[in-house]
Amino acid sequence: MLKLSSASAHGLIAVCLSATLASAQARPEADLCAVAPGAQPLLPARLMDGMGDTNMPVTTTSEDARKFFNQGISQMHSFWFLESERSFLQAATLDPDMAMAYWGISVSAAGDYRPAFQLLRDPLDGGRAPGGSEATTGAAIARSVGGAALEPSIRAKEAIEKAMSLRDKVTPRERLYIEAEAARRNPASKTKDADHIEGLRRLVAAYPDDLEARSILGLALLDGFDSVTKEPRKNTMEGLALLEGVVAKDDNNFGSHHYLIHGWEGSKTPERAWHACKRYPELVPNIPHALHMPGHIYAQSDRIDDAVRAFQAAADNERGYLKADTLYPNGHHGHNVHFLIHALNLDGRYQESMKQVAHLMNDFKETPRERRGSSQRVAWRQGYFGLVKTLVRFERWNEILDGRTIPVYDRPEQNAWRLWARGLALAATGKRTEAQAALKEMSDVLPKLDASRRPLAIAQMELEATIAAYRGDRKRSRYLFGKAAGLEAGLLYTEPPAYPRPVVEAWGSAALMLRDYGSAEKAYREALAREPGGGRAMFGLAAALRGLGRAVDADKVTSEARKAWAKADADLPQMKSAQRADASN
């Protein structure tokens, strides 16, 4: 049964305090799964179905505390940190001397229990704040009336200090867990992550059969894959080997299945996570993130229909939680739907994409607090980005220029994306002077950005390349497209991508317009390497091959494109062109 804690006076006061503390300046954004400042969980927690089964040995005098602790571990493994912190807090309330409950609060509250590669991101896009999580010191600590620190990193540090004070009352194994977490919260250390990993290594060496410990170490080692070469970074393969060893021993270890999905995304072989994609939602059927995660891999490995189903299931599941709790944050639901829009875009489904955009923008109007902030992760702004992305990917130039479909919104990020789309549409419809004016206006907005700085700098370059192409300047266009494509491909991996679509897709389209079929073929083949099985790139490649006089090859690729877009809207230009070709034959 779906149950969450109800709102209370404590929670409302915390939210109000958080809004008061917010400044007009940009501040690093937490990952979507992390607990936002001022939104610490409230009690009571409840035991919930479908979280996944965990039975981790732990020292406590209360069987109820043990149940909430194990629920917290399950929720922690699914990065549902608002609920895992709530469960651990409930365990600590039932048994105030339960050291591992405070360990769990520390892990959950800090927002850094994630694959290591995610912490490399721009701080304004979920990466680590400059100077680390203890960057805010010296000021009085803001607290709710219940005494909890509003700042998650402070809450985490205070919790692990409490656990350390109780470490002599627990088993040697639990003590190693606590000391490894304490190493990560040590403000005096300049190598917190390395210290944490070293502590976990000691734990795993001492207790090699502790699959929870091996799973946690495996996650900490996931440095990810290089954005351009797709080669693994330093510790990635070691982490993946640890996790694969865990599931080989216990295929019900859903935490390792989750981490394997993260571990293989952005690699050359995402299909190596297909088994984990099957098992994880089977084992954890009532946490939105567990239903969502398989879509990450399916969207990268030519299983677009499966990706659509995963994101839709996650969005449907999260709607229940949104209805049950008025304080439930909407950003992760926005992420579910944003990724659903991305998958529908890949599948050639414009109408359904726009339906999902309307859901985010109509059902999640921004609150005054969201409007004042710089976060791009609230549902409405994710919908806005999805709108721009969809209109550009489907080249709906008339809708972009109609003055209604993309609302004018006076925040720099939304304004810059709107101007980018407008400039592309103006260039494509022959209005070169107006396109140049849109580029100038976009350039004036960029210095005002709080977030999305790198993607929008690339978008500015792509727009300039597009304008050059439409005025017939092949040399300038090719140079700018090449530079923009390299920068976009080198963006740190995010999910979904931080850029609306691969720049090489736009390059291919411009090259076709210029009848530079060799460049178009190269661009579309690279687009297919970036998005395997993409019908849009296949249709573009077929056009390039036809322009090169390779009709047999073009017919073969067109056939593959039609299969890839079996569910695409019938009125898309690519589909109509294929239908005309059938009729002529």
Please give the C-alpha separations between residue 477 and each of 312, 456, 481, 503, 541, in angstroms, as whole numbers: 39, 18, 6, 12, 19
pLDDT score, position 580: 81
Across 519-544, average pLDDT: 95
Burial of residue 494 (number of CB atoms within 10 Å: 0-12, 13-18, 19+): middle
Where are the alpha helices (H) located in 446-473, listed in sequence order? 453-470
Beta bridge partners of 295: none
Instruction: Kindly state the percentage of the chain with pLDDT values over 90.
Output: 79
- pLDDT tens readout for residues 225-248: 999 899 999 999 999 999 999 999
- Rounded to an integer, what distance in angstroms lies between the CA atom of residue 56 and that of residue 332? 28
Contact 381, 32 (CB under 8 A): no
| C-alpha to C-alpha distance for 524 and 516, rounded to whole angstroms | 12
Range with lowest mean pLDDT among 33-37, 323-327, 401-405: 33-37
The pLDDT value recorded for residue 19 is: 33
pLDDT at 27 over 60: no
Question: Are 84 and 108 in contact, with CB atoms under 8 Å apart?
Answer: yes
Residues with Cβ within 8 Å of residue 348, at least 6 apart in sequence: 535, 536, 564, 565, 567, 568, 569, 572, 574, 575
3-state secondary structure 132-189: CCCCCCCCCCCECCCCCECCHHHHHHHHHHHHHHCHHHCCHHHHHHHHHHHHHCCCCC
Select from 6, 97, 78, 100 the least CA-distant residue to 45.
Answer: 6
- Structure-block tokens of residue 313: 């299931």
Query: Other C-beta atoms within 10 Å of 525: how many?
Result: 16
The lowest-confidence range among 173-187, 367-381, 395-409, 455-469 is 367-381
Say which residue, 343 or 372, is predicted with more confidence. 343
Q: Are 416 and 491 in contact (CB under 8 A)?
A: no
The pLDDT value recorded for residue 496 is: 87
Query: In whole angstroms, what is the distance from residue 98 CA to residue 107 CA?
Result: 15
Q: What are the helix (H) ranges across 272-376?
A: 274-283, 288-292, 294-298, 304-324, 331-346, 350-363, 368-372
Q: What is the mean pLDDT of residues 91-118?
A: 95
Taking only the tens place, the pLDDT of each residue in 428-459 is: 999 999 999 999 999 999 999 988 899 999 99
Contacts of 70 (CB under 8 A, 6+ apart): 54, 55, 56, 58
Give 372 or 310, the one with higher predicted confidence.
310
Question: Does an H or E element contain 377, and which?
Answer: none
The DSSP letter of residue 35 is: P
Neighbours of 316 (CB within 10 A): 12
Confidence of residue 24 (pLDDT cuts 50, 70, 90): very low
pLDDT exceeds cutoff 60 at 265? yes
CATH of domain 1-22+29-128+143-207: 1.25.40
- What's the one-letter identity of residue 124? L
What is the band of 11 on the pLDDT scale with cuts at 50, 70, 90? very low
Whole-angstrom distance, CA of residue 281 vs CA of residue 394: 32
Q: Could you tell me which residue, 282 or 23, shows the higher pLDDT?
A: 282
* Closest-CA residue to 396 (of 575, 578, 572, 580): 572
Helix or strand (DSSP H, E) at 413:
helix 412-428
Nearest in space to 215 (alpha carbons), one of 256, 247, 177, 184: 256
* Helical packing angle, 254-264 and 63-77, nearest 10°: 20
> What's residue 256's pLDDT?
98
- How many Cβ atoms are within 10 Å of 138's Cβ, its own excluded? 4
Please give the pLDDT value at position 115.
93
Domain 508-585 coded CATH 1.25.40:
yes
Instruction: Say if residue 15's pLDDT is above 90.
Output: no
| CB-based contact 436:482 (threshold 8 Å) | no
Q: Which residues of 294-312 are buried (b: 16+ CB within 10 A; e: fewer)?
A: bbbbbbbbbbbebbbbbbb
Q: What residue spans in the chain does CATH classification 1.25.40 cover? A: 1-22+29-128+143-207, 508-585
> Does residue 507 carry a pLDDT above 70?
yes
Question: Residue 466: which of 421, 497, 500, 515 has the closest Cα?
Answer: 421
Would you state the structure tokens that stand for residue 303, as one six-digit string? 């299983």
pLDDT at position 13:
28
- Average per-residue pLDDT for the chain: 90
The predicted structure's pLDDT at residue 141:
85
